[in-house]
Every structure is written in structure tokens, then in C-alpha cells.
Structure 1
Amino acid sequence: MKILVIEDEKFLSQSICDYLKGENFLCEPAFDYQSAFDKIGSYDYDCIILDINLPGGSGLDILKELKRMHKTEGVIIVSARNSLDDKISGLQLGADDYLPKPFHMAELGARVQAIVRRRQFEGNNIIRFKEIEINTSGKTVHVNESEVPLTKKEFDLLLFLVANKNKVISKSAIAEHLSGDDADVMDNFDFVYAHIKNLKKKLQEAGCFDYIKTVYGLGYKFSV
């Protein structure tokens, strides 16, 4: 799961990223309005953590741009401005939640998890597809009730594919989801093929049907 942290206080931004990485999220920081604007135009995220008061512009304008672009990311506003007007404006513009500073990282993490579940899996912690069971809180995968040991990348890949089942997902989209900005400087996406191959092998060895289909020239699709 990929999170964009739009926060100009670099120490706080790093603290948020460090905590969420410990919760198995991939985090990217943006420290000002323009870099945040560029990122939301170029990439997709599962959730955005957004400060209102940014160098070069307002976080409320970022919300307006997300709405204009018909983006579906969940948004949590985090701001020292604890005024009712800011909270109402942000929620009216499409934010999902509002968390005033200072806050506990565990609370932020719980809210991020809740938004991702609500947006992608109708609020469920347990995701089931045929014989596969994915526990998004425990970060575990079972096939026919037997646990399948997956790496973090393999778990993220499986969850991404299941969340987009019956859709063709390009190699570049998978690379971006797994590696964030680093995908832009990669010469090739061989690592995507390697992760797909390893994930398929582990699932099939556990008795799972091969749901991951190669769509030649386009990417992969998770379907029956």
C-alpha cells in the first residue's frame, strides 16, 4: 500500500514515514505545494496524509485538484489549524478524515488502515477470494487454511492484484506500487516478473489455482 505524506515539517514527515513503513506501507514525502501537486498528477496512492499550510500553496487546493482529476485516494488532513472552518472546508472538498496536531502515530496509523480498508475492501480486515484468505491487519495469507509465507513485496503485490481483480495491470503500475518514485529511474521491470513468478509459485505450492494471468504486451490480470 502506498502513502503520500504532504507535510512541510521534515522531522514530522520523517517520523510519519518511519512509523508507517513499520506498518508495511510504502511512503513518499512531499514538502511543499508544487512537489505535492506534481506527485498527485503523476502517481496513484492508496492514501494521502495532507497538511493544510504548505510552502507555496494551500492543502485545500490540493484537495480541489484531486477532485478535479477524479482521483480516488483517501485523504487524511493533519494540521495545527484546529479551526472548525478548516475542518469543514477539507471534508466538503473530499477529505475522509481530519486529525489535529499533535497526534499519536498509532492513531494516525489506525486511521490510515481504516481508510484503505474502506476504500478498497468495504471496511474488511479479512479479504477472501476463492481459497485465498488475506488478513490485512496481521499481514498473513492462507490458502485452504494453511498459511503461505510471503515477503512484504509479495504480500503487497497480492493485495494490489486482488484489489484490482479482473483488471489488466501494467508492469509499470506494479513497479510504481511496489517501489514508488524509484520506478521512474529503472531501466527495466525485471523485478516485477521475479515477484510475480515467486508469488505464483508459493500460492500454487500451497494448492492455490493460478489466478495471476499474463496479458502479453500489457501486464498481468488477477482473475478466475
Structure 2
Amino acid sequence: MKILVVEDNHDLALSTQEFLLREGYICEISASYTETVEKLSIFTYDCVLLDIMLPDGNGLEVLDMMKSEHQNTNILITSAKNSLDDKITGLEGGADDYLTKPYHLSELNARIRTIYRRKTLQGSALLRFNELELNTNTFEAFVNGQLLDLTRKEFDLLLYFIINKNRVLSRQAIATHLWGDYTDDLSNFDFVYQHVKNLRKKISQAGGNDYVTTVYGMGYKFNANETGK
């Protein structure tokens, strides 16, 4: 999961990022309204941790912008302001949850996972597609009940494919989703090919169907209608 932490408190932003990285997330930081709007216009995120009070603007204005542009991103407002009006405004404006600072990082993680399950996985930690089953709590994947020996990146790649089944995903989109925004400056994405190849091989060796097709010149597609080639 790829997360943007919008927080102008440098120490809090770094501690939150370090914690989320240890939990296996891809995590970027933004310290201002201007930087946040720029990042959201260029990159996509699974979840945005959005502070209300920013040095050059208001987090609620970021929320309004995201909703007006129909960005399908989970939004968790984090603010030291324990104002009922702000909480109501944020939730009615489209935020998925509201967490008042200071908070425990373990609670933040639980809130993020709950939002993701509710919006993306229909409230369940288990994602099933034909013979494939993924457990997003334990990061385990199975083929007909047989546990696959996947790396964390391979698990995240398979989850990304299934959630976006029947959509063409460019190698750059896959790289950015799994490794972060810095990949935007890379000259090639050959490492994506190797990860896709390894994932397909492990699924096939376990007796699963190969749903991933190569769309030449564009990227990859998880074809839910037939096996891949």
C-alpha cells in the first residue's frame, strides 16, 4: 500500500514514515498545501494521512480538491484540533476517518488497514479470485489452499493486479506503486519485468492459472476472463 503523509511537523512526519516503512508500506511525505497538491496531481496513493493545519493552506481544501477531481484515494484526517465542527466537516466532505493527535502509531496503522479493507476489499482481510486467495493481514497468498513462497513485493504485486483486474498497468505505474515516487526518475523499469516473471512462475508451479498477459509497448494486464500468455 502506498501512503502520503501530509504533516508539517518534521519530527512527527519522519517518525510516522519510519513506522509505516517498517510495517511494509510505501510512504512519502509532504509538508505543505502546495507540495501536497503537486504530489497528488502527479502520483497516485492508496491512502492520504491529511493534517488540517498546514503552513500555506488548509487540509480541508486539499480534501475538497481531491473529491472534485474524483480521486479514488482513502483519506484519513489527522489533526491536533479536537473540534467537532472540523471532524464533521471532514467526514461530510468525503474523508474516510478522523484521528486526533497525539495518537499511537499502532492505532494509526489499525485505522489505515480498516479503511483499506472497507473500501477496497469489501470489509474483509481475505481477497479471493478463483483458485487464488490473499490474506492482507498475514501477507500470505494461496493457490487452491497451497501457500505460495512469495516475497513481500511479489505479494503486493499480485494484490495490485487482482484489485485492478482487466486494466492495463504500465511498468512505470507498477514501479511507482510498489517502490515509491523516486522511480519516476529511472531510465527503465526492467526490474518490474523480473518481478512479474517470478510471480507468474510461482503461481504456475503451484498449479494456478496464469492470468497475467503482456500488453506489448504498454505493460501488463491481469485478465480475469482467461489465462495469460
The TM-score with structure 1 as length reference comes to 0.97
AA paired with 1:148? L
Does residue 22 of structure 1 match 2:25? no
User: Residue in 2 aligned with 1:193?
Assistant: 193
The answer to whether 1:144 aligns with 2:148 is no
Distance in 2, Cα, partners of 1:181 & 1:44: 9
Q: C-alpha offsets along residues 106-135 of structure 1, whole Å, 9 cap, x if unaligned?
A: 111011001111221111101111111100
Query: One-letter code of the match for 2:59?
Result: G
* Separation of aligned partners in 2, 1:119 and 1:212: 24
Q: Which residue in the other structure is 2:184 paired with?
A: 184
Aligned partner letter, 1:149:
D
- Look up the match of 1:50: 50
Structure 1: give runs of 5+ residues left out of the alignment: none
CA RMSD of aligned residues (A): 0.9
SS at structure 2 position matched to 1:115: helix
Structure-2 residue corresponding to 1:106: 106
In structure 1, give the amino acid aligned to 2:132.
I
Alignment of 1:30-179 (within 5 A): 30-179=30-179
Deviation at 1:17, TM superposition (A): 1.4
Q: Which residue is 1:203 aligned to?
A: 203
Measure the CA separation in 2 of the matches of 1:106 and 1:49. Answer: 14
1:47-75 Cα distance to aligned partner (Å, 9 max, x none): 11010001111101100110111101010
Give the partner amino acid of 2:159: L
Structure 1 segments of 4+ aligned residues over 6 angstroms from their partners: none
Q: What is the TM-score normalised by the length of structure 2?
A: 0.95
Q: How many residues were matched structurally?
A: 224
Distance 1:205 1:108 in 2: 38
Letter in 2 for 1:53: M
Q: Shift of residue 23 of structure 1? A: 2.0
Give CA deviations for 1:151-192 in whole Å, capped at 9, x if unaligned: 111111111001001111111111110122112110101011
- In structure 2, the residue corresponding to 1:28 is in which secondary structure? strand
Matched, 1:219 2:219: yes
For the residues of structure 2 that align with 1:48 and 1:39, how far apart are their CA atoms? 11
What is the rounded CA distance, in whole Å, between the counterparts of 1:10 and 1:205 in structure 2?
47
CA separation in 1, counterparts of 2:215 and 2:38? 30
The AA in structure 2 aligned to 1:202 is K
How far apart are the structure 2 equivalents of 1:198 and 1:55?
A: 45
Secondary structure at the residue paired with 1:44?
A: coil
CA distance in 1 between partners of 2:149 and 2:6 (Å): 33
* d(CA) in 2 for partners of 1:9, 1:35: 14
Q: Could you say what secondary structure the match of 2:180 adopts?
A: helix
